[in-house]
């Protein structure tokens, strides 16, 4: 059941991505509207997959495959909120392909059933996973906005703007989107990390176990703290802020997917 929902969602997301890409290359209008509808149908189906997963397993994702699926879902959710907020669908041409990538990778990975260790069977683990996932999803969206910003800025600076220039939103909207995503993501990540620390203490008696994920998540958090401070206090915006947002997201990807491979620890994957 969960797999059926996942594959269907993937199909709709993929169609939405193609429609979004098409709308960048040709006239938007109907194609962009179709992309928006396909993306939302994909999201509803994906939500079905998430609900079935939670009903069947009764625990948050405990392997990389499940985690990627949840991350894709959170990214789609945050994107839809931003799309409604900014009334701009074009951002979907970057955000939805990312969702496809995450969900596609999730579908391709083997689903090993990990059992949750008894000390982690409490509300804290839910808070930790949900908050971190949503925070990371917001950073994914900030990265999409930043990428679009760099493309649009390059087109403007090159002084030969073309079709893509016309289709992409204004620099202001893209910069605002980055700012919105960062100010949404940072408190969520902070609370997610805090809940993780408390969870670690309640489960193992120490606030930090210094596994790869914890170390790199802390590095990422410090990086985003500096970026947000720079934006708010130092007036960082434009190209520099966009590049830093992208670097920050690379940090997120590394911290959540790869760091654990370097230093094994308390995290399941």
Partner 1 sequence: MEIIALGLSHKTAPIELREKLHIPESELPEILEELSGCGQILERMILSTCNRVETYAVVDDVEGARRFLVELLAERHKLLPEAFEPSMYLLTADQAIRHIFRVASSLDAMVVGESQILGQVKAAYAAALEREATGPILNALMERAFRVAKRVRTETGIATSAVSVSTAAIELAKKIFGDLTGRTVMLIGAGKMSELSAKHLLADGVGTVLVANRNFDRAVELAERWGGRAVRYDFAKLEMLQADIVISSTGAPHQILSKADFEEIIAQRRNRPIFVIDIAVPRDIDPKANEIDNVYLYDLDDLKGVVQANLRERQREADLAEAMIDREVRQFAGWLTSLHVVPTIVAMRKKIESIREEELQRIFAKLQDLTPEERHAISLMTGSIVNKILHDPTMELKRQSALKEGHLYVNVLRRLFGIKEE
Binding site for partner 1 (CB under 8 A): 27, 29, 152, 156-157, 159-163, 165-166, 168-173, 234-240
Nearer to partner 1, 57 or 237 (CB): 237
Nearer to partner 1, 229 or 264 (CB): 229
Residue 170 Cβ, how far from partner 1 at the closest point, in Å? 4
Nearer to partner 1, 84 or 160 (CB): 160
Phi and psi based region of residue 205 (left: phi greater than 0; alpha: psi -120 to 50; beta: remaining): left
Residue 113 Cβ, how far from partner 1 at the closest point, in Å? 49
Residue 233 Cβ, how far from partner 1 at the closest point, in Å? 10
Q: Number of C-alpha atoms within 13 angstroms, CB side, residue 145?
A: 33
Nearer to partner 1, 181 or 256 (CB): 181
- CB neighbours of residue 179 within 10 Å: 18
| CA pair distance 42, 169, nearest whole angstrom | 24
Q: Among the residues of the chain, which ranges form H helices?
A: 2-25, 30-57, 64-86, 92-108, 123-158, 163-167, 171-204, 212-233, 239-253, 259-262
Residue 172 Cβ, how far from partner 1 at the closest point, in Å? 4
Residue 34 Cβ, how far from partner 1 at the closest point, in Å? 14
Cβ–Cβ under 8 Å, residues 267 and 211: yes
Nearer to partner 1, 68 or 168 (CB): 168
């Amino acid at each position: 059941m969960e797999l059926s929902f996942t594959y269907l969602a993937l199909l709709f997301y993929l169609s939405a991505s193609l429609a979004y890409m098409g709308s960048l290359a040709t006239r938007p209008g109907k194609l962009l509207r179709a992309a928006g509808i396909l993306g939302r149908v994909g999201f509803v189906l994906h939500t079905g997959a998430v609900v079935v997963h939670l009903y069947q397993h009764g625990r948050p994702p405990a392997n990389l495959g499940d985690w990627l699926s949840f991350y894709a879902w959170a990214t789609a959710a945050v994107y839809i909120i931003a799309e409604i907020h900014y009334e701009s669908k074009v951002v979907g041409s970057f955000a939805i392909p990312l969702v496809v990538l995450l969900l596609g990778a999730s579908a391709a990975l083997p689903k090993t059933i990990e059992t949750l260790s008894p000390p982690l069977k409490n509300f804290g683990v839910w808070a930790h996973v949900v908050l971190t996932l949503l925070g990371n999803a917001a950073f994914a969206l900030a990265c999409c906005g930043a990428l679009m910003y760099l493309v649009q800025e390059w087109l403007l600076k090159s002084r030969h703007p073309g079709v893509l220039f016309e289709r992409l939103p204004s620099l202001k909207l893209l910069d605002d989107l980055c700012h919105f995503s960062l100010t949404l993501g940072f408190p969520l990540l902070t609370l997610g990390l805090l809940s993780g620390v408390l969870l670690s203490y309640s489960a193992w008696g120490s606030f930090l176990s210094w596994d790869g994920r914890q170390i790199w998540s802390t590095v990422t958090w410090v990086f985003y703290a500096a970026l947000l401070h720079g934006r708010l206090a130092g007036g960082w915006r434009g190209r520099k802020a966009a590049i830093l947002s992208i670097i920050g997201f690379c940090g997120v990807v590394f911290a959540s997917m790869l760091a654990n491979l370097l230093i094994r620890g308390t995290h399941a994957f």
